[in-house]
Amino acid sequence: MFVKIRRVKLAATKSDFKLSGQSVCLMTENGYYKKNKQELFDLWSERDDIELVERYKLEFELVESRRIEGQPRHQNNFYLASIRESDLQSPPTRRLFWQTVQSKLKHRNLTKNDIDKITAKIEERVVFV
């Protein structure tokens, strides 16, 4: 059993754009005209006063690995939790993240040793609060 960690890029939002000088109105779904992501990127990439700030989150999954006919197979993927990279410095968000992880691990049929190993692996990326 091991922990799979994925870094996932989040969709762009209005707060993902830093502006210098003029303001820009982001077209959204709630009543404004919406352009697709490529059109928005093309529109904004032409402007010198806008810089896209990319946002990512870390997703943690518990994966059981077994050998079937001598070949490794990943089975029983179990989603534990995710946290935005921008929230890694926020103690309240980390606390909520760890409460979620611990709650989900408690309901799995795992030994204390397995839980300690999993927690240690996650703690390499998200500091325990």
3-class secondary structure, 40:
helix
**Do 99 and 111 reside in the same domain of the chain?**
yes
**Do 40 and 73 reside in the same domain of the chain?**
no
**Do 68 and 83 reside in the same domain of the chain?**
yes
**Do 41 and 96 reside in the same domain of the chain?**
no
CA distance 123 to 75: 23
pLDDT score at 28: 47
pLDDT score at 3: 84
Domain that holds residue 112: 2-9+56-123
State the amino acid at position 96 in one-letter form: L
CA distances from 59 to 25, 54, 66, 81, 84 (A): 31, 16, 22, 6, 9
- pLDDT tens sequence for the chain (129 residues): 788 888 888 766 555 554 443 334 454 444 444 445 555 566 656 665 555 566 789 999 988 877 888 887 777 688 999 999 989 999 999 999 999 999 999 988 889 999 999 999 999 999 998
**Do 65 and 104 reside in the same domain of the chain?**
yes
pLDDT score at 58: 94
**Do 96 and 67 reside in the same domain of the chain?**
yes
**Do 69 and 107 reside in the same domain of the chain?**
yes
**Do 66 and 91 reside in the same domain of the chain?**
yes
Does a structural domain hold residue 129?
no
**Do 90 and 42 reside in the same domain of the chain?**
no
